[in-house]
Each structure stands twice: as C-alpha cells, then as structure tokens.
C-alpha cells in the first residue's frame, strides 16, 4: 500500500494542476472586498437572493461542461433553455396540462434538440460551433413564433411551477439533509479507501480524508445557519446541488464518465481503445440541451413568466464563463461538475456586489471578462505544466 501525502500534492502543483484553489481564493477575496464596501453583501437576506439567482444559470453551465469536456462548445444552450421554458408554459397555462407533465415534455424537447445537434455534428461533420450557432438563432426564432403577438405568458403565482422557487426547507429537513450528505460522503471515502488498499493501490492518508469530511460538514452547516437566518434553504438550491452531485458521480464512477474524459483527452486513442466516440459526442450534446431545458424551467419558475427575452441577454455567456472560471478546460479532458457551482458563485457574487454598490453594468462586464481571461490563462499554464 502506498500513501499519497503532501509530496504528491506538491508534485501536482508543480505540474500546474491547481485544482479549485484559485476559485476558492477568488471567492474569499470577493467576500472580503464587497463585504467591507457594503455591509449588506454578507447578510443572510442577500446571500439567499444570491443562491436563488445562480440556480438557473448554474444548471445551464452544467450542460456546457458536458460538451467542454470533449473540447466542443454549445452556443445554443441559452436559446434552448428559453424555448423549453416557453413550451412548458404554453402546455401548462394555455392548454391546461398537468404542470409535471408539461415539465417532462419540455425536458424531452430539450433532449431532442441536443440529439439533433449531436447528429449534425457527428454524421454531417459540421463543427459544433456552427451547429450550435445556427441553433442559437433558429431556436430563438421558434421561441418568438410560439409566443405569438402577446410576447409574454405569466405563470400562476400559486401554481406548482412558480412554487419551485418559493419553497423553503423547514430547519429540521435542512439539518437532516446535511447529516445525510456528510454521512454519505464519509462512507464513500472509507469504502473507497478500503477497496484501494485491498487492491494494492495508492491511497490518501486517513487524516486527509477526515479533514475533507470535516470541511464539508462545516461548509454545509454554515450554509444552513446563514440561510435559515433569512427564509431558510431554498428548494432551488437543493435541485441544483442534486444535479451537481449526481452528474459528478456519473462522471467519476461510471464507464460513461471515464469514456467522456478519454474522448476529451484524446479522441483517436479512445477510438482505438474501443470506445464509441460518436455515441459519446451525441450523448454530450443531449445532456447539454437537457440541462439547458432544466435551467430554463428554473428561470421561468423564479420569474413566474416567460417572454421573448427568455434564455437571452447574457445567460449563455455567463454559463460558459461559469464553467471555465470554475476550472473546466476549454481544450477538453479536464473538469468537474463542481466547476459550475464555483464558477457561477464567482460571477453572481461579482454581479450582486456591484449592483449593491450601484456600479455601472459596463464595469461589471469588464470585470467578469478579466476574471474569465484569468481563468483561461491559468488553464493554459496548467496544460503547459502538465505537458512538461
């Protein structure tokens, strides 16, 4: 048995693999700067609003990560999110469908759009940039056509869909959820370590695993305490967190996840190893559009309406920026779903802090661009260090 200790971590740092530390450092700096400039920034009320703001775009960013892992891009995610939200709203409001059934159909529409994009990319050999750029324009046009002359459809404030963004966990359920998550994480760490020891594989020291479990417990408990000081833990955060954790488990502990990383790292080597590269690429686009549909539904729930700007504005750019800032490589083969959570936290924190300070939106865009450029620079340096 080999124990992976501090020397192993230092070797990874020397190779340029900084992990999530730059993003965590950035979040701490943002909290310190905006917290000192405006005392309301770190208040429970503002942090709760921050969580609500990031759920929809963060979910879309999760889908972007799926295609970025393959070194591809999806420029249609914003339009697809708006289109699926409109489909759901039309079925629910105008045709009186059951809201759950309307959501299911909207998600299936998103999956079908992703399948079309994937087939066009893999069978017609069209670059993903062109395919999804056409989708960005075309699906936005279909959205406007479906809305008709009215341009806006409101959702019932007391309905199921709008209620998704206005539902708060009772304190006992929030703490139970924390206990379950920490317990599951600890059990998974112990079981994984024992299996690796039995197989003669290198493992991390026990104190490192205990430190990570304790850190997760403190982080989750702190979040519950802060959010409970306002309205409580929002259901939107639970949904977003479940998607992040679920997709991370799929990518790290299933054959499909390993194939995704293999294709993104070296498609030709993956093909020679017997992996169906075409199928993996198609599924990545399906996942991207499906998650975009989920994001659009969450956005419609929070606004209790859909209109011609649904999925538009800077949603796509913020989703891509969140994925990259969180640590997903633009060159494929490296990234975690937690990148969406960290990245969208950075972007929404910057946006929220500047709004509190009444900073002009032009400055906000420039600051976000600088953070994005810095993230890409770190990614490029990491690749160079890894190659050496």
Stretch 189-196: mean pLDDT, rounded?
Answer: 82
Q: Is the pLDDT of residue 159 over 60?
A: yes
Structure tokens at 322: 């969140």
Closest CA to 58 of 247, 231, 262: 247
Q: Does domain 40-381 have CATH number 3.30.70?
A: no
d(C-alpha 310, C-alpha 99), whole Å: 19
pTM of the model: 0.90
Lowest mean pLDDT segment, chosen from 161-175, 227-241, 353-367? 353-367
Q: Mean pLDDT, to the nearest integer, of 57-78?
A: 93
Give the pLDDT of residue 4: 55
Dist. CA 131–CA 134, nearest whole Å? 5
Task: For residues 299 and 311, give the distance between their C-alpha atoms in angstroms, rounded to a whole number.
Answer: 9
Q: Which range, 15-19, 129-133, 301-305, 331-335, is most confident?
A: 129-133
Task: Count the residues in the chain.
Answer: 388
Q: Which of 319, 355, 272, 381 is nearest to 13 (CA)?
A: 381
What pLDDT sits at residue 64?
A: 94
| Per-residue confidence (pLDDT) for residue 6, from 0 to 100 | 46
Query: What pLDDT does 19 receive?
Result: 59
Pairing verdict, β 168-169 and 233-234: antiparallel
Query: 104 or 19, which is more confident?
Result: 104
Contact 56, 296 (CB under 8 A): yes
| Helix, strand, or coil (residue 64) | helix
Look at residue 20 and tell me whether its pLDDT is greater than 70. no
SS3 169: strand
């Amino acid at each position: 048995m080999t124990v992976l200790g501090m020397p192993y971590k230092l070797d990874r740092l020397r190779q340029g693999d900084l992990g999530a530390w730059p993003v965590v450092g950035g979040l701490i700096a943002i909290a310190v700067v905006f917290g000192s400039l405006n005392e309301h920034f770190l208040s429970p009320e503002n942090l709760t609003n921050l969580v609500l703001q990031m759920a929809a775009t963060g979910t879309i960013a999760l889908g972007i990560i799926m295609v970025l892992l393959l070194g591809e891009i999806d420029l249609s995610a914003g339009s697809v999110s708006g289109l699926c939200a409109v489909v759901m709203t039309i079925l629910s409001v105008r045709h009186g469908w059951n809201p759950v059934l309307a959501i299911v159909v909207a998600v299936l529409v998103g999956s079908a759009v992703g399948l079309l994009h994937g087939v066009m990319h893999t069978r017609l050999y069209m670059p993903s940039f062109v395919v999804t750029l056409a989708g960005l324009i075309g699906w936005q046009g279909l959205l406007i056509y479906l809305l008709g002359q009215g341009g806006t459809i409101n959702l019932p404030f007391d309905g199921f869909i709008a209620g998704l963004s206005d539902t708060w966990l009772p304190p006992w359920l929030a703490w139970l959820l924390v206990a379950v998550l920490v317990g599951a994480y600890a059990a998974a760490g112990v079981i994984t370590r024992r299996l690796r020891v039995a197989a003669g594989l290198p493992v991390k020291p026990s104190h490192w695993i205990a430190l990570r479990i304790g850190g997760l417990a403190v982080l989750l408990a702190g979040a519950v305490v802060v959010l409970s000081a306002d309205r409580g833990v929002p259901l939107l955060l639970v949904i977003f967190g479940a998607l992040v954790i679920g997709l991370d488990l799929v990518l790290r502990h299933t054959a499909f996840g390993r194939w995704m990383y293999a294709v993104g790292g070296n498609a030709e080597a993956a093909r020679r190893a017997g992996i169906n590269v075409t199928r993996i690429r198609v599924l990545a686009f399906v996942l991207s559009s499906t998650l975009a549909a989920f994001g659009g539904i969450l956005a419609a729930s929070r606004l209790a309406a859909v209109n011609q700007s649904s999925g538009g504005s800077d949603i796509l750019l913020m989703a891509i920026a969140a994925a990259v800032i969180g640590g997903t490589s633009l060159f494929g083969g490296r990234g975690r779903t937690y990148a969406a959570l960290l990245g969208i936290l950075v972007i929404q924190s910057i946006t929220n802090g500047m709004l509190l300070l009444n900073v002009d939106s032009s400055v906000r865009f420039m600051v976000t661009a600088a953070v994005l450029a810095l993230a890409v620079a770190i990614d490029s340096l990491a690749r160079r260090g890894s190659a050496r």
